[in-house]
Structure 1
Amino acid sequence: MHLPGTWLERFAADERHSTPRAGFDIGEAVAAYDRLLKAFQGRVRIQYAVKARPDHALLTALVRRGSGLDVVAPQEIEQALRAGCAPRHMSCSNAFADRQELTHARIRGVTTFTADSSDMIERIANVCPHSAVFIRIAQENLTQAAIPIAGRFGCQEDEAPELALLAVRRGLKVAGLTWHVGSQQRDPTQWEQALERAARIVRRTDHHGVTVHHLNLGGGMPATYRASTPSVETYASVILAAVDRHFPRHRQPRLIIEPGRALVADAGITTASVKAVVGRPWGTYVILDVGMWNAGLLDNLCGIEYRITFPGHPSGCATQPVTFCGPTCDPLDCLTATTPYRAPVALATGDRVVIWSTGAYCSTSALAGFNGYPPLPQHVHAPPP
C-alpha cells in the first residue's frame, strides 16, 4: 500500500522529531478517491463522509476533485461551505436531526436529507418544504462488519414504500433509497443483499407512481488494517454486477457512495516510542507514549486492529506475543486483539513504533488532556494541486 519514498514512509522513518506524532497525507487520500472512482467505472458519484476526517485542506482537495460531501451537523455544513462545496452537492444523512439543525441546513441551502421514520419525514416537510429525501433501509446480517450499524438506523423493507408515499404527499421529492452495510465491511456480498432488497422496494414504489432516481450505497468499504480484506476493485465488481442483475439497464437508478475510512484511513500514520516493556507471569506489556485517548485509537474498542511495525528491528527477528498499552493509568487504554500482537523480543524502552492506517476518526476522537496527556499534534502534508 505504501511505496518506499512516499511521504508516509518518510514520516515513519524520520527520527529527527520526538514522539508521539500523527501524520496525514492528503495526496494519498486523493489517490484513494481516484482509485475508487476508477474501480466503479465512473458509474458512481462519491460523497465523502466528512465525519471520518474534517480537515479543511482535505475537504478542499476532495471538492476540487469533484466529490460531494455527506454532512450531519451544522458544524460540518459550515466546514463543507468553507471548503467550497456547493449546498446542492451536500447530503445531510442525519435521520434524527432536530428542528434547529434542519433550520440551519435550510438557511445554508442544503436541500437533500435522510429519513427512516414518519416523524422525520413530517419534520423535514415542516422545516424544509419541497426538499428531497432519501429513505434509509435497515441492513441485516452484519457479522462481517467490524462495526455493525444497526438497531436505531433504518426502516424495515415493508415500511420503505409507505414512507416514500408519505414524503410525496407532504410535498417532498423522493431522492432515492439508502442504507449502510456496517463499517469496515469485509464481505462485498452485503451490498448484493441490500441491492436485491432495494429492487423489491423500487418495484413497489413504481406501482404507486413514485420513481426512485438514486441508490445511495452508503459507506462501509474497508481500509488496510490488520485483517485482510478484498481489493476496492473486487467490491466495485460485485456491486456493479448486482446492480445490473437486479435493475434493468434502461431503468437503473444513479449510484452514490459515501466512503469515509476507505479514503482517509490509509493516508494517516502515528509514530510512537516505547516507554516500558513489562513482563508479567500472564504476559508481556509494551507501554507506548500513544494510546486510546491521546491518539484517538477508539476504533479498537469496536474491533478495528491497527497494523504496527518496528522500524529499528529487522524483519524475521525473534518475536513474542505482547499487549500494547497507552500512557494513561486507565485500564481501557490498551489495544485489544483477536490474535495477540507480536513484537520483537529485543524491543526496549526508547525504540520507535509505527501504527498505520490511523487517518480516519483518530484526529477528532482524541480526548483533550485526559490524565494530563494532550491529543497528538497533527502534521498534514498537502501536495501541490
Structure 2
Amino acid sequence: MDAFTYRHGELLAEELALTDIAERFGTPTYVYSRSAIVEAFSEFQRAAAGRKVLVCYALKANSNLAVIDLLARQGAGFDIVSAGELQRVLAAGGDPGKTVFSGVGKSEAEMRMALQAGVRCFNVESESELHHLNRVAASLGKRAPVSLRVNPDVDAGTHPYISTGLRENKFGIAHEAALAAYRTAAALPNLQVVGIDCHIGSQITDTAPFLAALDKVLELVDTLHAEGIELHHLDLGGGLGIRYSDETPPSRAALLAAVFERLQRHPRGQQYELLFEFGRSIVGNAGVLLTRVEYLKENGGRHFAVIDAAMNDLMRPALYEAWHEVLPVRQPNAGASAGVDSGSTRAGGHGSQGSASPTAPTTSSASAAANTAQPIEAVYDIVGPVCESGDWLARGRTLALAEGDLLAIGSAGAYGMAMSSNYNTRPRAAEVIVDGAQLSHPSNPSSSNASPARSVASVSISVNGPTRKRAPVQLSTPGRPT
C-alpha cells in the first residue's frame, strides 16, 4: 500500500489527507489511488513486453466505472461474468473485442447481448452451455468464439471458498472430459474454437499451482493438436495474491517470467497469445475503507470499537475470516513520515520508513481540530452496527482509540465495494479516486472519479433494491486521446 503514507502523523492517499476526504464525503468511504492502480497494471505490461499478452482486468474485484475507465486507457482487456459487468465495460469505454465472458451460469439473454456487443470470446464451462450458445449464435446469424474452461484439478492452496480448480468445484469442465467437449464445440456450426482457459483460485501466493495448472493445459493442447483442433490463445486466468498481512506472493513480473520460461520448453508454446484475468493484484492494495469510531465499549473483558462501516460494506472478514490492516488516520504520536507497507506496518507502529516531507498536508479547520477525548489503549475487536455477531472487520488489534477517531481498513481495493450490500437497509459506502492532491466532486457530471453515498431515504424507496451512497466519480481524468 505504497500510495498510503503517513506525513506528520496524518495518513494520506497519495497527496490528499484522508481527514479531508472524510469531511467532504463522510464515512464510510472507499478511497482508491490512481497511481497504485496504474503502476500495478503497468508492471504486468512491462513484464510482458515483446510478447503476445493481453491482461484482462477481472471486474468482479472492483467494478467502479472510474477504475474500469482508467484501466481501459492503459490498454487493459476485461474479464466479465455477467451482462451487468459487460454494460459497465461499455459504459466506461472499454473494448468489447478485448473482453472475455466467463461464468458458470450465463443466460441466453446474456449470451445474446455479448454476441451483439462483439466480445472477444466466451469461456464456456459445460457441454450444455455449448449447445445453448450455439443456438443463440445461430439465431443471430453469428459464430460465437469459444474457449473452454478446463478444471485441471490443481490445489491453489487458498481458502476453500475461493479455490476453483479442484475436481469437486463447480467451475469448468473436468480435465478428463475436456477432449470430448472440444470435439462437440468443433462440430457445432455456430461456434468457433479459439482457445483454452483455466482459473484455479484466488489469493494464490506461490507460483507452483500456476505452473502445475499450465502443465495440465499444455497436455490437453497437445492432445487437441493431434486431433486437428488448433487454438489461438491460452487463458491462464488470474488469482495472483497480494500482501494483506505476512503473505509473500511472487511479484507480478516473477509470475509472468515463470510462465514464459515454462512455455519456452514447449514446442509450440511461443505461438499462442497469452491471456490473464488479474483483478485483486491490480486493485487490492490500491484502496482503503475509511471509517469512523462511533463507540468504545467493554463486555465480559473484551474491548469493542464500534465503527460506522460494517460487514455490508466489507464482507471479506465475515465471509472468509480475512485479515485487513487497521490504521489510525491520525497517529497517536505524530512523527516522521512512514510508509504504510501492507502486512508489515501495524497501527502500533513498525513499518518501512519513508522520507519526511518538508510541508504538512493541507487539512480543513474542522478535521484539524484534535479529538479532545483521551485515547484508550486496548486490544480491540473492530465491529460494525449490523445485527450479526459475525459483523466484524478485525479482531484482537492493539490500538489507542477515542470515539470519533478515523480509521483506514487496508488492502480494501478488491472485493470490498464489489461485494457490498444494503443489509439492514444500510446505504452503501461512497467511493473516491485520488490522483495526487486532486479529487473531483461527485456532483460534477463530467467527472467519474467519485461515487456519492445515497441517503437512507433513497435506499428505503429504491425499486431496484437499495444501493448506498455515491455514484462513481473520478479524479482529474484527461479527455480520451483522439
- TM-score of the superposed pair, with normalisation by structure 1: 0.89
Partner of residue 302 from structure 2, selected from 283, 286, 291: 283
**Residue identity opposite 1:86 in structure 2:** D
Q: What SS is found at the alignment partner of 1:219?
A: coil
Deviation at 1:42, TM superposition (A): 4.8
CA radius of gyration, larger in = 2
Matched, 1:28 2:43: no
Deviation at 1:135, TM superposition (A): 1.0
Deviation at 1:267, TM superposition (A): 1.7
Asked whether the equivalents of residues 63 and 84 of structure 1 are also in contact (C-alpha less than 8 Å), the reply is yes
Map of 1:1-385 to 2, 5 A cutoff? 1-3=1-3, 4=5, 7-8=13-14, 10-14=16-20, 16-17=23-24, 18-43=26-51, 44-110=53-119, 112-128=121-137, 129-142=142-155, 144-146=157-159, 147-150=162-165, 151-171=169-189, 172-230=191-249, 231-245=251-265, 247-248=266-267, 251-281=270-300, 283-293=302-312, 295-298=313-316, 300-310=318-328, 311-314=330-333, 315-316=348-349, 320-335=378-393, 340-344=395-399, 346-368=400-422, 370-381=423-434, 382-385=475-478
Deviation at 1:250, TM superposition (A): 6.3
Task: Could you tell me which runs of 5 or more consecutive residues in structure 1 were left unpaired when the two chains were aligned.
Answer: none
Q: Which moved more, 1:96-105 or 1:255-264?
A: 96-105
**Residue identity opposite 1:7 in structure 2:** A
Q: What SS is found at the alignment partner of 1:60?
A: helix
Distance 1:177 1:113, change over 3 A: same
Tell me how far apart the structure 1 counterparts of residues 299 and 154 of structure 2 sit (CA, whole Å). Answer: 40
Q: What SS is found at the alignment partner of 2:134?
A: helix
Deviation at 1:224, TM superposition (A): 3.2
Asked whether the equivalents of residues 296 and 367 of structure 1 are also in contact (C-alpha less than 8 Å), the reply is no
Deviation at 1:111, TM superposition (A): 5.1
Distance 1:374 1:267, change over 3 A: same
Distance 1:192 1:300, change over 3 A: farther
Tell me how far apart the structure 1 counterparts of residues 428 and 258 of structure 2 sit (CA, whole Å). Answer: 40
Deviation at 1:204, TM superposition (A): 0.7
Distance 1:250 1:286, change over 3 A: closer
Q: What SS is found at the alignment partner of 1:185?
A: coil
Q: Which moved more, 1:202-211 or 1:52-61?
A: 52-61
**Residue identity opposite 2:134 in structure 1:** A
Identity rate of aligned residues, in percent?
A: 26
**Residue identity opposite 2:383 in structure 1:** C
Tell me how far apart the structure 2 counterparts of residues 81 and 358 of structure 1 sit (CA, whole Å). Answer: 25
Q: Tell me the matched-pair count.
A: 378
Distance 1:307 1:203, change over 3 A: same
**Residue identity opposite 1:32 in structure 2:** A
Distance 1:92 1:112, change over 3 A: same
Tell me how far apart the structure 1 counterparts of residues 388 and 308 of structure 2 sit (CA, whole Å). Answer: 13
Distance 1:54 1:289, change over 3 A: same
Distance 1:163 1:319, change over 3 A: farther
Asked whether the equivalents of residues 272 and 353 of structure 1 are also in contact (C-alpha less than 8 Å), the reply is yes
**Residue identity opposite 1:106 in structure 2:** L
Tell me how far apart the structure 1 counterparts of residues 419 and 427 of structure 2 sit (CA, whole Å). Answer: 12
Distance 1:2 1:250, change over 3 A: closer
Distance 1:203 1:7, change over 3 A: same
Tell me how far apart the structure 1 counterparts of residues 241 and 96 of structure 2 sit (CA, whole Å). Answer: 28
**Residue identity opposite 1:148 in structure 2:** S
**Residue identity opposite 2:124 in structure 1:** A
